[in-house]
Amino acid sequence: MLRGPQPGVHGIMKGESMTFSTRARNWSARGGAAAVALLTVTAGTQAAATAAQASRAGQAGTTSAAAATGSSPVNPFAPAYLHPYRRGAVPTRAAAARMASWARQHPGALTSSPTHSHAASPAVQKASSQNISFGGGNDGIGVTTGDQKVYLVFFGSQWGTMGTNSNGDATFTNDSSGEAPYVQELFKGLGTGNEQWSGVMTQYCQGVTAGAQTCPSSAPHVAYPHGGALAGVWYDNASASPAQATGNDLGTAAVDAATHFGNTTAAANRDAQYIILSPTGLDPDQYQEQGFCAWHDWNGDTFLSGGPVTSPDGDVSFTNMPYVVDLGVSCGENFVRAGSAGTLDGVSIVVGHEYAETITDQNPPGGWLDNFGEENADKCAWGPPGTTGGAAVLTLPTGKFAMQGTWANNVNSGTGGCRFTQTVKRTQLLRNTGFESGKLIPWKATAGVLKKKSSSFPVHSGSWTVRLGGRTAPHTDTLAQTVTVAPANGRYGAATFSFWLEIKTNDPATKASDKLKVQVLGANGTVTLHTFSNLNAVGHYVQHSLTVSRSSFLNASGQPVPITLKFTGTETVSGHTTSFLIDDATLSAS
């Protein structure tokens, strides 16, 4: 039977409960005497995350091996202590301070257990003991490789009566803070206006060896959420939400949502995540007593409280998102902005934290984590505003949102650090990009166009190039490769075709006689991306980048179709030659 809110739960002071003191005393009784000192730690300091990061950095060089093998204890103030399903949990600010203090006194302590799904390969040499590394995947899934699809589930009839505002957002009579429309506008805005907060996550990938800290361009990277991440909103009000929903309750709500939205296959849920938002006054997974603001997981996690959730729809990733406004400053109210402008700071910081971790560790713990069990957003949680990678306001076409930075392996000479924005890293889809195999396969071309480096045939890099043209009589050469612009069971939102081109000619400089057409043959027919001619000769290689439209690689139903990228070099003037030298061609998608 569903219970109403427990007496006193909603009346807890915004910030703390006695559970932390009890936990520290229990740990002390087991031999952790230093824990007693933690009872005096001041709650909610903005320096908590900085202290935690510094503590981790100091420990990393000497304790990473122990942490990776799970021989170190789990920090008793971490939300995942005795609750390993709380993946990537955002600790309250007070809990973060306690965790940092305890970690300094217990080098090598984990914040979560277990850490990775698969042990790192002995062949992988880690560039930095502070960085996060790939866990090898869980049920074949590591990161979100296609356009993200975020589904917001307002869980339980306690949200009240639903309406719609002028922006088309769902509103609720029991949402006095306005959390619901705020979150909808956030996810509508991510991936629009050229925002680069999402760019930090795109450096991570799957398809690499467990333990890897870097990704080759050809590995399937985390995709950029082109055109917005929000895919759907559902008010699940068939019944009241439990007063203290278990992990199983929340996972069941996510699977129900997948079915509701028609995502009834594993492929449909490959790039989806379901954020389960509980209404005010409730205490999902006892977040108010346990010192956290949110966490994420997937339905098949055997550690879930209440047990794993059977899904007819494949693996389903979800977030437990309590009504964090109820905890005020402990979960980030006014963390970045003062006054009423910052009332919902914690909402976007916390939900953004879990979103960033889900796309980099979709079926935890198979994605990207460090040796202590922390995910990319954990390592930068509650970073003070005004510091490198600290919390700040992200301006999107849909509004302004307080967000935190996330961990970037690729900064500080590969030793890593927190960053708020970065340029987008894309997945490179073409094969034999520079023809360095000495063969054209899988390119298809007219005979004789592959050339080895010489004074007559300069290359951009390596030892091989392709020359189209270069004949003294009218002639046509072609070079083409066919590719599907999509990750496995997913879709990309954008693609760019880049190549290096040198044009050598002795044609008269008064007319465009010889031409090179660059075309894409796709769902919308043949589209000419650009035409070059003998008049474009400059005597050296120049890189060109051309946009391939979605209408070329997605059909009318939004499904990926193969495309062919084609160069056609045509010479028309007898007695004169134009050589179109092509090298290092790539197709980058996200």
Cα distance from N-terminal residue to C-terminal residue, the chain: 46
| Predicted confidence (pLDDT) per residue in 528-554, tens digit | 999 999 999 999 999 999 999 999 999
How large a percentage of the chain has pLDDT more than 70? Answer: 85
Domain boundaries 444-589, corresponding CATH code: 2.60.120.200
pLDDT at 396: 98
How large a percentage of the chain has pLDDT more than 90? Answer: 82
pLDDT at 342: 98
278 in Cβ contact with 240 (< 8 Å): no
Burial per residue of 419-452, b for 16 or more beta-carbon CB atoms within 10 angstroms, e otherwise: bbbbebbbbbbbebbbbeeeebeebebeeebbbe
Q: For CA atoms 185, 190, 195, 199, give the dihedral sign.
A: positive
Q: What is the 3-state secondary structure (H, E, C) of 394-423?
A: EEECCEEEEECCEEECCCCCCCCEEECCCC
| Predicted confidence (pLDDT) per residue in 400-457, tens digit | 999 999 999 999 999 999 999 999 999 999 999 999 999 999 999 999 999 999 999 9
- Residue 80 contacts by C-beta under 8 Å, 6 or more apart in sequence? 74, 86, 87, 89, 111, 112, 113, 295, 373
466 in Cβ contact with 435 (< 8 Å): yes
Bond prior to 91 in cis (omega within 30° of 0): no
486 in Cβ contact with 460 (< 8 Å): no
- pTM for this predicted structure: 0.86
Closest CA to 573 of 472, 460, 429: 472
| Predicted confidence (pLDDT) per residue in 243-263, tens digit | 999 999 999 999 999 999 999
589 in Cβ contact with 494 (< 8 Å): yes
Span 192-213, average pLDDT: 97
pLDDT at position 311 over 70: yes
- Secondary structure class of 149 (helix, strand, coil): strand
| Residue 548 DSSP label | E
- Give dist(CA 180, CA 580) in Å, integer: 56
- Residue 563 contacts by C-beta under 8 Å, 6 or more apart in sequence? 482, 483, 484, 485, 520, 521, 522, 523, 548, 552, 553
Of all helices (H) and strands (E), which one includes residue 272? strand 272-277
- Average pLDDT of every residue of the chain: 89
pLDDT at 10: 27
| Structural tokens at position 577 | 């030659």
- Give dist(CA 137, CA 317) in Å, integer: 14
Closest CA to 440 of 403, 465, 469, 404: 465
| Predicted confidence (pLDDT) per residue in 452-488, tens digit | 999 999 999 999 999 999 999 999 999 999 999 999 8
- Give dist(CA 105, CA 59) in Å, integer: 10
pLDDT at 279: 98
Q: Please, which pLDDT band fits residue 583 given cuts at 50, 70 and 90?
A: very high
- Give dist(CA 165, CA 457) in Å, integer: 63
127 in Cβ contact with 213 (< 8 Å): yes
Phi, psi of 584 (to 5 degrees): 50, 60
| Predicted confidence (pLDDT) per residue in 351-403, tens digit | 999 999 999 999 999 999 999 999 999 999 999 999 999 999 999 999 999 99
DSSP string over 326-383: GGGGGGTTTSSS-GGGGTTHHHHHHHHHHHHHHHHSSSTTSSEE-TTS--TTGGGTTP
Neighbours of 528 (CB within 10 A): 11
Closest CA to 381 of 274, 290, 294, 283: 294
Q: For CA atoms 322, 326, 327, 332, give the dihedral sign.
A: positive
Order of strands across the sheet with 87-91? 87-91, 292-298, 317-321, 272-277, 149-155, 230-236
Of residues 429 and 24, more confidently modeled: 429
| Structural tokens at position 31 | 């031999």
Amino acid at 176: S
Of residues 395 and 509, more confidently modeled: 395
**Which residues make up the CATH 2.60.120.200 domain(s) of the chain?**
444-589
Rg (CA), the chain: 27
Phi, psi of 548 (to 5 degrees): -100, 120
| Predicted confidence (pLDDT) per residue in 78-114, tens digit | 999 999 999 999 999 999 999 999 989 988 778 775 5
